[in-house]
């Protein structure tokens, strides 16, 4: 299963200056609990933003040209197709953890979305989700996190 997981502002902002435009410990905890034990796929910009391998997850980093120092738990792949091929051999789920370019490239292959709604409008953000990113999906569950965050689970009908 390929699952997109994203935290998104009221105006669809997800990033600013190469980072998250907010700090919500409850969402970071939720992200950790949800993704641990699985593979996470991220674009090279998101990799640079996180700055280290996420522990207890296979970290798959995507770039067509960049090189990375070999390190445990990190795999550099060159294409979406390479990720989909690898997915056949993985036991757990694949979580797409961003950013916008990576979500966009995988849009046709995403089975589920887990979306944290952040109760803010980030006017000066520089990375946004497209407003129609969850078109064709339906909400299957909703939960609340501390800090006024709402998590919505989306699945294809």
Ligand X SMILES: NC(=O)c1ccc[n+]([C@@H]2O[C@H](COP(=O)([O-])OP(=O)(O)OC[C@H]3O[C@@H](n4cnc5c(N)ncnc54)[C@H](OP(=O)(O)O)[C@@H]3O)[C@@H](O)[C@H]2O)c1
Note the Cα 47 to chain centre separation in Å. Answer: 11
Kindly state the smallest distance separating residue 14's Cβ from ligand X, in Å. 4
DSSP string, 44-76: HHHHHHH-SPPTTSEEEEE-SS------TTEEE
- Decide if residue 122 touches ligand X (CB under 6 A): no
Pairing of strands 39-43, 58-62: parallel
Q: Which of 112, 141, 145, 152 is nearest to 27 (CA)?
A: 145
Return the number of the residue (121 or 157) whose C-beta is nearest ligand X: 121
Kindly state the smallest distance separating residue 1's Cβ from ligand X, in Å. 18
Binding string, residues 28-57; x marks residues near ligand X by CB under 6 A: --------------xxxxx--x--------
The Cα–Cα gap between 7 and 75 comes to: 24
Q: Is 10 helix (H, G, I), strand (E, B) or coil?
A: coil
- Decide if residue 152 touches ligand X (CB under 6 A): no
# chain residues binding ligand X, by CB under 6 A:
29
Return the number of the residue (125 or 157) whose C-beta is nearest ligand X: 125
Residues lying near ligand X in the complex (CB under 6 A):
6-7, 14-15, 18-20, 42-46, 49, 62-66, 78-80, 97-102, 105, 127
């Amino acid at each position: 299963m390929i699952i997109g997981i994203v935290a998104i502002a009221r105006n669809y902002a997800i990033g600013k200056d190469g980072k998250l435009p907010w700090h919500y410990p409850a969402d970071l905890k939720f992200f950790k609990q949800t993704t641990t034990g699985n593979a996470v796929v991220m674009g090279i910009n998101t990799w640079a933003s996180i700055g280290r391998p996420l522990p207890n997850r296979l970290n798959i980093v995507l770039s067509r040209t960049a090189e990375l120092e070999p390190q445990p738990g990190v795999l550099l792949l060159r294409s979406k197709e390479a990720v989909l091929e690898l997915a056949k051999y993985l036991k757990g789920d694949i979580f797409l953890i961003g950013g916008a370019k990576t979500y966009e490239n995988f849009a046709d292959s995403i089975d589920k979305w887990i979306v944290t709604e952040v109760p803010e409008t980030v006017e000066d953000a520089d990375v946004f989700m497209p407003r129609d990113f969850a078109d064709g999906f339906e909400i299957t569950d909703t939960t609340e996190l501390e800090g006024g965050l709402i998590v919505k689970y989306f699945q294809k009908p």
